């Protein structure tokens, strides 16, 4: 009788070991799947950030800052990324000047004061695995950030 009980015990041990091995394989497979998803998401976010900077740079480097908006699809190899941009003027209130300034300093500060700037908003959107993703960037833009060469005689 002991021999039969021992044979059954080995069978139960084998079944339990196979169950534990299966559960371990399932956990490892889930971890690998999540690592691959995270890697692709990080790659997409990095690409979106570079595209965001590219589109922002193109809009900022225009000589005149026209208000408006636009959208489009990025060129190959980034055709699954779309972008939207908008540029609107932001009024900036004039701060009070210190009373101890000389009239020349006061005039120089008032001449240098710019009462508005442009607010550039760029949104990059893409789809991956049935889910929508987006990256958003905002920046203040002024005409004074560009160097314009002096007229040559």
Structural domain includes residue 149: no
Structural domain includes residue 59: yes
Which residues, 6 or more positions from 60, have their beta carbon under 8 angstroms from its beta carbon?
120, 139, 141, 145
pLDDT in tens, 40-90: 999 999 999 999 999 988 888 775 667 888 899 988 888 899 999 998 888
pLDDT in tens, 103-136: 888 888 777 777 667 889 999 999 988 889 999 9
- Counting the structural domains of the chain, the total is 1
Which residues, 6 or more positions from 92, have their beta carbon under 8 angstroms from its beta carbon?
114, 115, 116, 117
Distance of CA 12 to the CA centre of its chain: 54
Structural domain includes residue 109: yes
Distance of CA 151 to the CA centre of its chain: 39
Please report, for the chain, how many H helices and E strands are present, in that order: 2, 4
Structural domain includes residue 153: no
Name the residue range of residue 52's domain.
2-144
Q: Read off the pTM.
A: 0.65
Structural domain includes residue 45: yes
The H-or-E segment that residue 74 falls in is: none
The two tokens of residue 69 are: 């908006």
Structural domain includes residue 60: yes
- Examine the pLDDT at 152 and tell me if it is beyond 90: no
User: Which residue from 138, 95, 88 is spatially nearest to 115, judged by alpha carbons?
Assistant: 95
Structural domain includes residue 152: no
Structural domain includes residue 56: yes
- Examine the pLDDT at 38 and tell me if it is beyond 70: yes
């Amino acid at each position: 009788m002991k021999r039969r009980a021992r044979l059954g015990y080995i069978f139960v041990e084998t079944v339990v070991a196979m169950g534990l091995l299966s559960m371990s394989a399932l956990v490892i497979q889930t971890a690998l799947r999540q690592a691959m998803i995270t890697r692709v998401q990080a790659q997409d976010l990095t690409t979106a950030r570079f595209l965001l900077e590219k589109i922002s740079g193109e809009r900022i480097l225009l000589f005149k800052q026209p208000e408006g908006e636009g959208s489009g699809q990025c060129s190959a190899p980034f055709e699954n990324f779309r972008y939207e941009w908008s540029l609107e003027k932001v009024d900036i209130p004039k701060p009070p000047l210190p009373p101890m300034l000389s009239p020349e300093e006061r005039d120089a500060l008032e001449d240098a004061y710019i009462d508005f700037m442009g607010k550039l908003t760029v949104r990059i959107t893409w789809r991956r695995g049935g889910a929508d993703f987006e990256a958003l960037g905002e920046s203040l833009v002024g005409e004074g950030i560009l160097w314009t060469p002096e007229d040559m005689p």
